[in-house]
Structure 1
Amino acid sequence: MSASSATLEIRGVSRRFGKNTAVSAIDLSIPQGQMVGIIGRSGAGKSTLLRMINRLIDPSQGSIFFDGAEVSRLRGSPLRRWQRDCAMIFQQFNLVPRLDVLTNVLLGRLNHRSTFSNLLGMFTRAECAEAVAALERLDIARTALQPAGTLSGGQQQRVAIARALMQQPKVLLADEPIASLDPLNAKVVMDSLQDINLREGITVVTNLHTLDTARTYCNRIIGMAAGKIVFDGPPEALNREAVRQVYGADSNGAEISEAITSTSIAYKQKIEASASPLEPAFPGY
């Protein structure tokens, strides 16, 4: 199987924490080049699933394959190579605040270098140029020499994306990348992830709380509830019944309003302009 057609396969994967099952018997196939949004309530198992794919935690049961290789069995240097090829972006950014932005981005090269080079802490001129180019692509090159901790949340998330690009990944996982961002910064971050997906053909799998964002940016949406997949399809198939399967109902048995999952500017303006607080922003949902 060629790298351009490499598929991520998840077969019967479960994860238990003591007596609690966070992910239950997931079967999923993601062809190379898709941009997939995973939606669901908090605690649905979205983050656990991504962490198993990246091998930050191991499955309790089942197997994960990429390009025909079983990555769920990898240990040592093969595991480090997989975590290089499968980059992870976190909601909390996971930058080193006291280091400058450029150095934080260059840390994405560590798994491409020898241990000796890493101990010396020296990066080549070519690596520095690549890091600057990644920052320019994300429109934050002007911050290159600032301590990462002095940046805004949206800027820090873009630095995290630039660091992931330095890994030259085949798969990019993003765990709630816009959950702590305002709508404008959320758009910048999602535009960046979509650009990476379209220009490089890199598979992007991202957990999202916002249905409008998933519909706008993802060509496939996976809905999770109680650790299981309850919806898997294109954005146009995410109708009223599908949303109910994913999010259920409130304590009174009424359907969850799609508006409460949204951070988009358009949604907020529509809600604020509504004549009645009980009137749904989008009557079809």
Structure 2
Amino acid sequence: MKFELRKVTRRFGDRIAVNAVSVEIPQGQMVGVIGRSGAGKSTLLRMINRLQDPSSGSIHFGGIEVSSLKGAALRNWQRDCAMIFQQFNLVPRLDVLTNVLLGRLNHRSTVTSLLNIFSREERLMAIAALERLGIEQTALQRAGTLSGGQQQRVAIARALMQDPKMVLADEPIASLDPLNAKIVMDALRDINEREGITVITNLHTLDTARNYCERIIGMAAGHVVFDGPPQELTAAAVREIYGSDRDGAGIDETMTSTSIDISGAASPAGKPLSAGIEALATARA
């Protein structure tokens, strides 16, 4: 099912945050959106999820005009279009398992939601999601006691519980160290490849976008100024997205790098880590 933005614009008073953006994304792509702070990346994702409404233009998915949905139809779209936030948006006082189970609320009746009644099948689904992300041992801990990397993996597990058709991730690794950033990005790529779910993620590091995304969209001042595969993201394209420094030189990508040199390693979402790296991941998570 194709996802499409048609001349989508968002204004805040006199300021235009997103300016006439038109993009088509086929089902199953992993797309990275890059750009400077204030370029419109977060506003774009929030409009896709309908946390904010477009000022003009329209949003479409599988023949449905998402931008016109209301009531139950809108809630169903927000269920199908899972959102992962930089701040994790967990309930700190609740245990991890319950936080993950909250991803099922839009699949349930109002009465059972109010009574917080989850079935045995749903609890098994939640534990399986935590196991997939390598944090099943935290299931009964309060979410507020976890590290940032663990909390972001809980947020991804909660998103999986929505059984989404699309996953939006707004700067999911911005506050994480390099090892946890790798674990989170590996998990998102695993979801994209294993389930064929479209993943659109805002990223502030060029190396991450190049390494994980098959398509990169570059934004500047609310406009899309680049849209293509990583190999076409040339120095000239990067300069158009990020501008130049005071001396007119281009951006040094190493300044934004979050890469970590772990030869042949993978996260719990992919192939197993070696014993030494696994121990390090446990210690740093």
User: Given the two structures, how large is their TM-score scaled by the length of structure 1?
Assistant: 0.91
Q: Which residue of 2 aligns with 1:3?
A: none
Letter matched to residue 167 of structure 1 = Q
Q: How does 1:110-129 map to 2 (within 5 A)?
A: 110-129=105-124
Q: How does 1:175-194 map to 2 (within 5 A)?
A: 175-194=170-189
Q: Which residue of 2 aligns with 1:215?
A: 210
Deviation track 1:154-179 (CA, whole Å, cap 9, x = no partner) reads: 00000000000000000000000000
CA distance in 2, matches of 1:165, 1:256: 36
Q: How does 1:15-30 map to 2 (within 5 A)?
A: 15-30=10-25
More displaced stretch, 256-265 vs 130-139? 256-265
> Displacement, 1:264?
1.3
CA distance in 2, matches of 1:197, 1:150: 29
Q: Which residue of 1 aligns with 2:73?
A: 78
CA distance in 1, matches of 2:180, 2:260: 11
Match of 2:136 among 127, 135, 141: 141
3-state SS in 1 of match to 2:172: coil
Q: How does 1:24-63 map to 2 (within 5 A)?
A: 24-63=19-58
Letter matched to residue 17 of structure 1 = F
CA distance in 2, matches of 1:51, 1:98: 26
> Displacement, 1:252?
2.6
The answer to whether 1:103 aligns with 2:98 is yes
Letter matched to residue 90 of structure 1 = F
Q: Which residue of 1 aligns with 2:240?
A: 245
Match of 1:262 among 232, 257, 263: 257
> Displacement, 1:35?
0.1
CA distance in 1, matches of 2:187, 2:93: 25
Letter matched to residue 93 of structure 2 = R
Q: C-alpha root-mean-square deviation of aligned residues, in Å?
A: 0.6
1:9, 1:28 within 8 Å by CA — same for their partners in 2? Answer: yes
Report % sequence identity. Answer: 74
Unmatched tracts of structure 2, length 5 or more: 262-285
CA distance in 1, matches of 2:78, 2:43: 16
Match of 2:148 among 140, 147, 153: 153
Q: Which residue of 2 aligns with 1:65?
A: 60
Q: Which residue of 2 aligns with 1:195?
A: 190
> Displacement, 1:263?
1.4
CA distance in 1, matches of 2:75, 2:255: 39
Q: Number of aligned residue pairs: give it.
A: 261
Unmatched tracts of structure 1, length 5 or more: 1-5, 267-285
Deviation track 1:58-84 (CA, whole Å, cap 9, x = no partner) reads: 000100000010010011110000000
Letter matched to residue 58 of structure 2 = S
CA distance in 1, matches of 2:3, 2:180: 29
